[in-house]
């Protein structure tokens, strides 16, 4: 079932768009099933769960080349449960979190002694729900104007979550907003060579996100089925 779901999504996904399989609340067996079907990038949203899965996988022969992304709200006292394991934090949603990630990276060079740079996406608040996380545009501009101060961080782009609705026009207007802001930032900060990822689109709206320049889609339930919290 998981393999079939993956294949159906891949059929419609342009080759340059990265599929991030959101495995939160799903057991390791499901991750391995997707892995055996060729999936390599997975995302988790809770530090404890991520750490547990990475440790469980460490004891196996399989899964050594999985690339983990973090996509949930990250509390600054949990950085060490997340940052050693992930290739990207997609959900940077406050200046404090960004600064703490930066300091952590500077204090924790790579095992071979090279400096560590944590790849991050800045989360833009685009949904109508006030409860959702993320920066407003001005805050992201303020940060990027000072990007040189964050030596432990690689700014790789933007992440956003559309309003939770069936109304396609509302979703489209959320994605249009982040998409045009992304273009604006890429023009303004052309020196940021890695700033090219636009992570938009989940199980119910990824096809819409493709029309607005998504370079990454984050898909959970359409691959693994409903979550059992
Ligand atoms: C859970 C989650 C997803 C995946 O949601 P689905 O609707 O199951 O695809 C994507 N992005 C974020 C930030 C999430 O928390």
Whether the CB-CB separation of 21 and 219 falls below 8 Å is answered with yes
Domain boundaries, the chain: 2-224
Distance CA 48, CA 25 (A): 11
Q: How far is the CA of 145 from the centre of ligand 1 (A)?
A: 30
Q: Which two tokens stand for residue 49?
A: 């769960």
225 pLDDT exceeds 70?
yes
DSSP summary character for residue 78: G
Give the predicted TM-score (pTM) of the model: 0.97
Distance CA 58, CA 79 (A): 20
103 pLDDT exceeds 80?
yes
Q: Which two tokens stand for residue 101?
A: 């990630």
- The percent of residues in the chain predicted with pLDDT above 90, rounded, is 96
* Residue-averaged pLDDT of the chain: 97
228 pLDDT exceeds 80?
no
The answer, yes or no, to whether any atom of ligand 1 lies below 6 A from the CB of 134, is no
The answer, yes or no, to whether any atom of ligand 1 lies below 6 A from the CB of 63, is no
Question: Band of the pLDDT at 131, cuts 50, 70, 90?
Answer: confident
The per-residue DSSP string of 46-65 comes to -HHHHHHHHHHHHTSSS-TT
For ligand 1, mutation pick of 24, 41, 71, 208 (most atoms within 8 Å of CB):
71
- Kindly report, residue by residue over 163-205, the tens digit of the pLDDT: 999 999 999 999 999 999 999 999 999 999 999 999 999 999 9
- Kindly report, residue by residue over 194-207, the tens digit of the pLDDT: 999 999 999 999 99
The answer, yes or no, to whether any atom of ligand 1 lies below 6 A from the CB of 203, is yes
151 pLDDT exceeds 80?
yes
Q: Which helix (H) or strand (E) holds 71?
A: none
Region 2-224: CATH code = 3.20.20.10
Q: Which atom of ligand 1 is nearest to the CA of 224?
A: 8
Q: Which two tokens stand for residue 4?
A: 């079939």
229 pLDDT exceeds 70?
no
The answer, yes or no, to whether any atom of ligand 1 lies below 6 A from the CB of 219, is yes
């Amino acid at each position: 079932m998981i393999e079939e779901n993956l294949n159906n999504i891949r059929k419609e996904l342009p080759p340059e768009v990265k599929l991030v399989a959101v495995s939160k609340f799903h057991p390791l067996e499901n991750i391995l099933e997707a892995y055996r079907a060729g999936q390599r990038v997975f995302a988790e949203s809770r530090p404890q769960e991520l750490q547990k899965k990475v440790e469980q996988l460490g004891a196996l022969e399989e899964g050594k080349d999985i690339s983990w992304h973090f996509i949930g709200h990250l509390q600054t006292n949990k950085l060490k449960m997340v940052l050693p394991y992930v290739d990207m934090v997609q959900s940077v949603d406050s200046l404090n979190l960004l600064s703490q990630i930066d300091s952590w990276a500077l204090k924790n060079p790579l095992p071979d002694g090279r400096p560590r740079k944590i790849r991050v996406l800045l989360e833009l608040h685009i949904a109508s729900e006030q409860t959702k996380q993320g920066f407003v545009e001005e805050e992201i501009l303020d940060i990027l104007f000072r990007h040189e101060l964050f030596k432990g961080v690689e700014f790789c782009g933007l992440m956003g979550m559309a309003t939770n609705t069936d109304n396609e026009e509302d979703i489209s207007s959320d994605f249009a907003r982040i998409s045009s802001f992304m273009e604006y930032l890429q023009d303004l900060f052309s020196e940021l060579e890695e700033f090219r990822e636009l992570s938009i689109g989940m199980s119910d709206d990824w096809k819409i996100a493709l029309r607005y320049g998504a370079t990454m889609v984050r898909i959970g339930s359409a691959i693994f089925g409903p979550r059992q919290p």
